[in-house]
Amino acid sequence: MRWAAWVLLGSGVALAARDVGERAQAEQLLEALKSAPPAAKSATTEPVAKSRAALAKATDQRQAGDTAHAELNEGLAYEWAAAATALTRATEREAELAKVERDVSELSTQEARARALLEETTSRRDRAVGQLKQLDAAPSGAAP
Amino acid sequence: MRPRQVSAVNGARRPARVGAATGGRPYQRAAWLLAPAAFVLACASAPRPQVLSQADQVAESPQAAAARAEAPQAFEHAESLRRRAEAAHEAGDPAAAAILSERAIAAYSHAFVLVRLRRAEERLAAARAELKTRETALAKLDEEHVALERDAEALELKLKVARDRVPRAPLGPADPRREEARLISARALVAEARLLCVSAWMLDAERPGLKDQVASVETLGQSLEAKTQGAAAAPVDAALTARAACLSQLTQVRRAATTGDPSSPAADRLLEALSARGGLEPRREDTGVTATLRAVFQGDKPTPAALEALEALAKIAKANPRFPLLVVVHDARADERAKDLARRLEAFGAPRVEARGVGDRLPLVPKGTPGAASKNVRVEVIFVSPLN
């Protein structure tokens, strides 16, 4: 009987720790999201609002003694906060991607320009070689 | 759960009451008939929460199929929450079912975002790799272009020298006006030849044949100075050949340095420094990078503004010791003034300075043109370039 009591107590503590953990984690994530860049902030408005609403509901439920549903709402709050965090990262990566793609496009233009310049200089050099040959072949005493 | 339990409890009470009244009252029979119906109603499940159906729809969406493949852990987490929501519904706890369903929807959203993030990261890695490849390709192209440009410039210079050295048909006699023009042209060519040969000598005084070349240009110059209008034909061809020979000497002197440091940006930097100072009209010429000063003398002495400019030039020369200075004065007392300015440049710290006066032999605009004197009288400070 004693071991059963310990198991029950232990699992209760573990459950409590997990749920308190989810509230704490949700709050931590929401706090971190405050410093997200503006573009990411606007993208995460909805999940952040949902997370805050769930936390508020959980607080009310805890005050009313409905711990079971409060824990579920804390879990829900954590889930939305985690989704918002991932969304922030995705938005940042996509912005970075857009910048790198712009750089690639610009380099591609520069490369095309460099190739054209190379061709032009090759022609210039070939022209000089041709004229030098012509000069060498011309009978002495007459300018080409 | 609670309503059903309550109903079940109520349903269980009824037979007790009915059993107590088996005496045969008429409503007792009706109660016996209604009991099973009440039991069925009590056992019927509560209406399915709308949010649970929404979670089902999300789980069946095309995005979900992608998440199942590309974010399996997050997707499985969402699925387990949906199963828990279903179980809560089955257990008759609609509030828990609704919260868990919403959490499942949040978890699906999370999984979808993870797919988006993963794809963005993959594309980002590919774009970065492409950027690097293109940067390398562009650097290679630039390198090729620099080498090619150098080749082309060297060939063009060779061509110029070769063209100048091609013997021309000797000039025949001409009328006095044309002869005068020829004499002016020959003097200008010899003046240019002198500057080119002096530049070559400043870079490599020991170069074989250079001393003789310089001497022959000086002799030609003296003979031209002695020549008077109307005498024998001006030696334009000889002057042209002398200029070509001096340019050839300078090109050859520079060749070794150019080969050792083909893409040196030294001349560009020098040009930038002169441009940054302002008022020096910097430009490139065969001899090097030239700065021009105007209204340098007031009486016998340089003006304060000219001294300031000389000090700035000396500072730039000190920072670019590979470029010796050649002071060229274009006015009546050219030699004397050129020497004076050279001394002042040295006093300001210029490492190596030579001076030459060319008088009015290299005018910018023809004599007689309005304002010619103010345009033609000038001092040029040439930073003799050691590179082609």
Confidence (pLDDT) at A4: 42
| Helix intervals (H) in B46-168 | 50-60, 62-70, 72-90, 94-165
**A 70-109: CB under 8 A from B:** 72-73, 75-76, 79-80, 82-83, 86-87, 89-90, 93-94, 96-97, 100-101, 103-104, 107-108
Site of tokens 């002016």: B184
Q: What is the 3-state secondary structure (H, E, C) of A22-85?
A: HHHHHHHHHHHHCCCCHHHHHHCHHHHHHHHHHHHHHHHHHHCCCHHHHHHHHHHHHHHHHHHH
Q: Which residues of A touch B49 (CB under 8 A)?
A: none
Query: Number of C-alpha atoms within 13 angstroms, CB side, residue B240?
Result: 19
Task: Mention every residue, 6+ apart, whose C-beta is less than 8 A from residue A95.
Answer: A37, A39
Residues of A with Cβ-Cβ distance to B151 under 8 angstroms: 125
Distance CA B356, CA B191 (A): 10
Helices (H) and strands (E) in chain B, counts: 13, 7
Question: Is there a contact between B79 and A49 (Cβ–Cβ < 8 Å)?
Answer: no
Partner-chain residue, chosen from B106, B142, B156, that has the shortest CB–CB distance to A128: B156
| Lowest-confidence segment of A60-64, B90-94, B153-157 by average pLDDT | B153-157
Task: Name the range with the highest mean pLDDT among A86-90, B172-176, B253-257, B384-388.
Answer: A86-90
Instruction: Provide the pLDDT for residue B18.
Output: 37
Q: How confident is the model at residue B39 (pLDDT cuts 50, 70, 90)?
A: low
- pLDDT(B11) > 50: no
Min Cα–Cα distance to chain B from A40, Å: 13
Q: Which of A94-98, B75-79, B117-121, B332-336 has the lowest mean pLDDT?
A: B332-336
For the record, the structure tokens of B32 come out as: 């016996």
- Which comes out higher in pLDDT, residue B54 or A40? B54
Say how many CA atoms lie within 13 Å of B102 toward its Cβ.
20
Q: What is the pLDDT of residue B176?
A: 77
What is the 8-class DSSP label of residue B22?
T
Which one-letter DSSP state was computed for residue B353? Answer: E
DSSP state of B171: P
Local structure of B330: helix, strand or coil: strand
pLDDT surpassing 50 at residue A106: yes
pLDDT tens per residue across span B189-239: 999 999 999 999 999 988 888 888 888 898 888 888 777 655 566 678 888
* A49–B contact, CB cutoff 8 A: no
Cβ contacts of A122 on chain B, cutoff 8 Å: 148
Predicted pLDDT of residue B5? 35
Cross-chain CB nearest to B148 (options A83, A86, A122):
A122
What percent of chain B shows pLDDT beyond 90? 47
Residues of B in contact with A107 (CB under 8 A): 131, 134-135, 138
A69 inside 8 A of chain B by CB: yes
- Residues of chain B contacting A83 with CB distance shorter than 8 Å: 106-107, 109-110, 113
Residues of B with CB under 8 A from a CB of A: 81, 95-96, 99-100, 102-103, 106-107, 109-110, 113-114, 116-117, 120-121, 123-124, 127-128, 130-131, 134-135, 137-138, 141-142, 144-145, 148-149, 151-152, 155-156, 158-159, 162-163, 166-169
Predicted local distance difference test score (pLDDT) of residue A30: 97
Distance (Å) from the alpha carbon of B99 to chain A's nearest alpha carbon: 6
| Long-range CB contacts (within 8 A, 24+) of B244-248 | B244/B161, B244/B164, B244/B165, B245/B165, B245/B193, B245/B213, B246/B192, B246/B193, B246/B194, B246/B196, B246/B197, B246/B200, B246/B213, B246/B217, B247/B160, B247/B161, B247/B164, B247/B196, B247/B286, B248/B161, B248/B165
**Contact by Cβ (8 Å): A138, B161:** no
Confidence class for position B86, pLDDT limits 50, 70, 90: very high
Per residue in B53-83, pLDDT (tens digit) is: 999 999 999 999 999 999 999 999 999 999 9
Rounded Cα distance, B63 and B12, in Å: 49
Q: How far is CA B220 from the centre of its chain?
A: 49
What is the rounded average pLDDT for all residues in chain B? 84
What's the farthest any 2 CA atoms get from each other in chain B?
Answer: 166
Mean pLDDT value across residues B157-178: 76
Q: How many CA atoms lie within 13 A of B137 on its CB side?
A: 16
pLDDT at B261: 65
Q: Is B175 strand, coil or helix? A: coil
Distance (Å) from the alpha carbon of B96 to chain A's nearest alpha carbon: 6
Closest of B4, B159, B373, B48 to residue A128, by C-alpha? B159
Backbone φ, ψ for residue B361 (5° rounding): -75, -20
Residue B336 · residue B357 · CB < 8 Å: yes
Q: What is the DSSP string of B334-345?
A: HHHHHHHHHHHH
Cβ count near B199 (within 10 Å) = 26
Query: Contact B135/A107, CB-based, under 8 Å?
Result: yes
CA distances from B275 to A57, B302, B317, B323, B344 (A): 71, 22, 14, 17, 22
In chain A, which residues have their Cβ closer than 8 Å to the Cβ of B113?
83, 86-87, 90
Higher pLDDT, B133 or B41: B133
Q: Is B354 helix (H, G, I), strand (E, B) or coil?
A: strand
Which of B128, B131, B166 is opposite residue A107, by nearest beta carbon?
B131
